[in-house]
Amino acid sequence: MEEDKQYQIDVDVRTNYVKEQSAPELNRFVFAYTITIRNEGAIPAKLLSRHWLITDAHGNVQEVRGIGVVGEQPYLKPGEGFQYTSGTVLETPVGSMEGKYQMVADDDTEFEAIIPAFTLSVPHALH
């Protein structure tokens, strides 16, 4: 069965270590991430909420749920995108994030946009 292309949100992630806000001696590693979400489906859709799992190198998981992203609930027509930057703090120099956005299309269909796992890493921490 062919995947339903009416409801398709693509998610692109770029990460950055924020050295100025980090304090490695205190096990504080700050990361910024810029996310671009794009409606590649056929029906306009609105982002309702987010659900993140943030895991550090010790296996500690922070679960984050909330309405919208950066205080907004972007409405995306087919072909439109929305970009935002946010951040997180880890106790280790390496970690990962993954999650999903809960979306609702104009036809009232609710669906999830999956955010594949991505790595948060201090430069040169992974080789």
Q: What is the pLDDT of residue 1?
A: 37
Assigned domain for 95 exists: yes
Mean pLDDT by 10 residues, the chain (127 residues): 76 97 97 97 97 97 96 97 97 97 97 96 79
Report the distance separating Cα 124 and Cα 22, nearest Å: 16
Look at residue 48 and tell me if it is in a domain.
Answer: yes
pTM over 0.85: yes
Q: Is residue 83 part of a domain?
A: yes
Is residue 3 assigned to a domain?
Answer: no
Specify the pLDDT at position 84: 97
Candidates 106, 85, 89, 118; CA nearest to 41 is: 106
Rg (CA), the chain: 16
Domains held by the chain: number = 1
- CATH number of the domain enclosing 30: 2.60.40.1470
Asked whether residue 1 is domain-assigned, the answer is no
Cβ pair 101, 66 in contact under 8 A: no
Phi, psi of 8 (to 5 degrees): -140, 115
Structural domain includes residue 4: no
Range of the structural domain that residue 26 is part of: 9-121
Flag whether 67 is in a domain. yes
What's residue 124's pLDDT?
81
For residue 85, being part of any structural domain is answered with yes
